[in-house]
Structure 1
Amino acid sequence: MRFLFVHQNFPGQYRHLAAQLARAGHEVVAIGETANLHRTPRLAGVKLYGYEAPAAAPNGFSAPVERAVNRGRRVAAGAARLKQAGFKPDVIGAHIGWGEALFLKDVFPEAKLLLYCEFFYQPRGADMGFDPEFPATAEKLLRLRVMNAPLLMALDAADCGLAPTRWQHHQFPAVQKPRIAVIHDGIDTDVVAPAGERDPELITYVARNLEPYRGFHSFMRAIPEIQRRRPQARIVIVGGDEVSYSPRLPAGQTYRQRFLAELGDRIDLSRVEFRGKIPYAEYLALLRRSAVHVYLTYPFVLSWSLLEAMSAGCLVVASRTAPVEEVMRDGENGLLVDFFSPAGIAERVDYALSHQDELAPLRARARETVAERYDLRRICLPAQLRLVHSLVNRVRSTSPDKSPSRPRPTPPPVKEKAGSTAA
């Protein structure tokens, strides 16, 4: 069978599924943004095709739709070239965001389109208006509908969807939920596992970027009290200075700079290490040494890092927010805390460091939770494959010609840059 994956940052959430389908002998093709493909290691057996990111749309009220349509047209043009060369996928996997999925069914009407349904914006009960420090304005609330418009257009074209958690699934319109399965991307618990000794005074915090959506401001404000209570503690903070989800700052400013300036000499920076973005192996080694790992988030997309920390046997202090509560129970497999309480965060961290032997069962149960519900090889990837094969069967049942299609050549994929191992 033939599979097409579309993701501007391919492989993204398709890393394991695309690789497994290729290993099984299927023809697997992927489309992504060219600049990103050249920064990403190749997946064996997956042919990559790039498209150039469209020029930024004017920053007006309709900009989210314009950006999505422009990107969707670029992807559709690339897909049409593949079709002209003889490639016709049986199943297409595409992320619902960014507009990439908008026109794929127009290019390949016989293919089944499976959307990765990561998030649908809501005016209340999720990220919007959650943090009083960054209030929701009337303009922002109106803009949500515009931001959702491309998602609804993609859902209208899709055959089914996949959401990684029940909470994220719950954000989608009621009429669409029956068509969206809940299957997590999966955590490789064989790789992400405890190893070696813990550093008894090491506190870790990890986010893709250091920003309010991931509770960076709450954690920073907790540091002075953590340091007062734990004079030997070391804090390692991992994450970039860009902004992924939170309100943008004036050019040249970062949230790290903002909160360091706010706290001034109340923080002993000799005991705080900002590592920026680090290689995955270094990140895993850090989790394995962590005595207490702090994870904070708005009601938003659940980070892989929380589940990886749990799988690595970390003692996690996490925010009492809905996405986290789907995974973690206070006093059972972690410790929950008020997102907005720096004093509460400091108290929980101090308690965890002071009772490490007593709380060791929480580490074990955290890993058990991930192994029982989110294990990549034993649970999530098999479920993803079952969903994909159900779509394949639907293709076969509706195809006028049930005989296997003969392989046909496709255009040359994205070439590796000289001196680079990335696609």
Structure 2
Amino acid sequence: MASWATRQAMKLGAMKLLLIHQNFPGQYKHLAPELARLGHEVVALTPKVKKPALWNGVKLLPYAISGGSTRGIHPFLTDFETKILRGTSCYQAALALRQQGFQPDVILAHHGWGESLFLKDVWPKARLGLYCELYHLTSADFIAFDPEFSQIDSVTEPLRIRMKNLNNRLHEEVMDAGISPTRFQAGTFPEHWRDRITVAHDGIDTDLVKPDPQAKLEVTQGRILTRDDEVITFINRNLEPYRGYHVFMRALPEILRRRPHAHVTLIGGDEVSYGSRPPEGQTWKQIFIDEVKDQITPEDWARVHFLGRVPYDRFLSMMQVSRVHVYLTYPFVLSWSLLEAMSAGCAILASDTAPVREALTEDDTGWMVDFFDRAALVDRLCALLDDPATRARLGAKARSFAQDTYDLRRICLPQHLAWVEGLAARTPRAPRD
């Protein structure tokens, strides 16, 4: 009997696909090579490469971003101007590609940076499938969730956010179908989008991300941590308030005081991925280190390990030695790291916020706590560290849920391929005047 992948290729037929992502492969890391493996011609336009290349069967073609921001432009237009610059630059590259005879049947794009704004003007008969990551909302949960870091001018902030959605709104006019990784993210888009948006996560390789009783993690000063150590883990792409870094750091002195043998390991960079920037010349990471360090003895501080950004195998080792993984987030895009922690069988203590509740169920696949309640965070963390039976139960259920819901090969990749099949069968929407 033919494999599922072979049957899928037969259903799709040989197609030409164009993929657009400013940081390719991004969310197409698994989908793009699989489409190429199934016999489709897959081309990617991205500014990430400087010359044509071949990656896992995908033809990578560079394009350069031309132009620069206008000095003195109205602040509401700054964000949209950058998207126009990317959109017109990608448009020029698309024209050159069309002149070479390339006619895609399907275009897949993460439209968040504006690159795909004008692609339907180049190929009006192509089907455009968008990665619908987030629609910016003006409700208090989004623009004023954390009063400490809310915009000062709360009157005009909703106006700026509404203008920030210009890119989303223009893409809606030409989008044939969309895909969102979570129900929370899909739910941020207006209702008239949602009948065209499929919810399917990018997928977690649960065969790779799994418990390992023999895992070891080297931290500062050459110390090796194992499953025998009391390890508390915390991970952000960048250490910043949107992901609760400030809440965790302010709880750190009490955590170290109450857990004299614990090691706290943190992964994350010094930059800003989301939200407001720190004062000029500073980083959120250092700001909150400075805020709490005087409350921590040198001996206790030696048990805190900032690992920065690390290779994936080291990240995986950290998940595998974790005794409790702490995950905090504003109501925003759910981090892959939470789902990877679940797949690794971690006992998880997370913020009780909307995106988290989609993946975690209280006292089933993890424990949750109010994002701002540092005392409850410390109390529940300590209780979980003192309860190995509960940790084992939560970790096993979390892994099982990850396997059943987010497994890459068995669940998510087939969903994405089926979505591409459905997209290819749609009647394309032409650009509107």
Q: Taking structure 2 as the reference length, what is the TM-score of the superposition?
A: 0.88
Aligned-pair CA distance for 1:261: 1.5
User: In structure 2, what is the equivalent of residue 357 of structure 1?
Assistant: 389
Aligned-pair CA distance for 1:395: 6.5
User: In structure 1, what is the equivalent of residue 142 of structure 2?
Assistant: 127
Q: Does 1:195 align with 2:176?
A: no
Question: For 1:247 and 1:332, how far apart are their aligned partners in 2?
Answer: 34
Letter aligned with residue 12 of structure 1: G
Aligned-pair CA distance for 1:87: 0.9
Aligned-pair CA distance for 1:144: 0.4
Q: CA RMSD in A?
A: 1.8
Letter aligned with residue 380 of structure 1: C
Aligned-pair CA distance for 1:67: 1.1
User: In structure 2, what is the equivalent of residue 257 of structure 1?
Assistant: 286
Once structures 1 and 2 are overlaid, which stretch shifts more, 252-261 or 234-243? 252-261
Aligned-pair CA distance for 1:394: 3.4
Q: Does 1:44 align with 2:44?
A: no
Partner SS for 2:332: coil
Letter aligned with residue 163 of structure 2: V
Letter aligned with residue 133 of structure 1: E
User: In structure 2, what is the equivalent of residue 401 of structure 1?
Assistant: none
User: In structure 2, what is the equivalent of residue 17 of structure 1?
Assistant: 31
Q: Does 1:138 align with 2:155?
A: yes
**One of 90, 96, 111 as aligned partner of 1:96:** 111
Question: For 2:187 and 2:141, how far apart are their aligned partners in 1?
Answer: 11
Q: Which runs of 5+ in 2 are unaligned?
A: 1-14, 215-226, 429-433
User: In structure 1, what is the equivalent of residue 258 of structure 2?
Assistant: 229
User: In structure 1, what is the equivalent of residue 21 of structure 2?
Assistant: 7
Letter aligned with residue 262 of structure 2: A
Letter aligned with residue 352 of structure 1: L
Question: For 2:141 and 2:406, how far apart are their aligned partners in 1?
Answer: 23
Contact 1:6–1:94, Cα closer than 8 Å, also in 2: yes
Question: For 2:204 and 2:68, how far apart are their aligned partners in 1?
Answer: 35
Question: For 1:132 and 1:160, how far apart are their aligned partners in 2?
Answer: 36
**One of 299, 302, 305 as aligned partner of 2:331:** 299
For 1:288-327, what aligned pairs fall within 5 Å after superposition? 288-327=320-359
For 1:170-181, what aligned pairs fall within 5 Å after superposition? 170-181=187-198
Q: Does 1:159 align with 2:176?
A: yes
Letter aligned with residue 270 of structure 2: D
Matched residue count: 394
Relative to 1, partners in 2 of residues 1:104 and 1:126: Cα closer, same or farther, differing over 3 Å?
A: farther
Relative to 1, partners in 2 of residues 1:355 and 1:42: Cα closer, same or farther, differing over 3 Å?
A: farther
Partner SS for 2:371: coil
Once structures 1 and 2 are overlaid, which stretch shifts more, 14-23 or 195-204? 195-204
Q: Does 1:215 align with 2:244?
A: yes
Question: For 2:350 and 2:232, how far apart are their aligned partners in 1?
Answer: 13
Question: For 1:323 and 1:162, how far apart are their aligned partners in 2?
Answer: 17
Question: For 2:355 and 2:122, how far apart are their aligned partners in 1?
Answer: 36
Contact 1:89–1:108, Cα closer than 8 Å, also in 2: yes
Question: For 1:305 and 1:230, how far apart are their aligned partners in 2?
Answer: 24
Q: Percent identical across equivalent pairs?
A: 50
Once structures 1 and 2 are overlaid, which stretch shifts more, 44-53 or 167-176? 44-53
**One of 249, 272, 286 as aligned partner of 2:304:** 272
Contact 1:90–1:395, Cα closer than 8 Å, also in 2: no
Q: Does 1:65 align with 2:77?
A: no
Aligned-pair CA distance for 1:54: 4.1
In the TM superposition, structure 1's runs of 4+ consecutive aligned residues that sit over 6 Å from their partners are: none
Aligned-pair CA distance for 1:43: 3.1
Partner SS for 1:294: strand
Question: For 1:211 and 1:228, how far apart are their aligned partners in 2?
Answer: 24
- Per-residue CA shift, 1:81-120, capped at 9, x if unaligned? 1111011111110012010110111111111000000000
Q: Which runs of 5+ in 1 are unaligned?
A: 397-423
Aligned-pair CA distance for 1:338: 1.0
Letter aligned with residue 51 of structure 1: Y
Aligned-pair CA distance for 1:42: 6.4
Contact 1:71–1:98, Cα closer than 8 Å, also in 2: yes
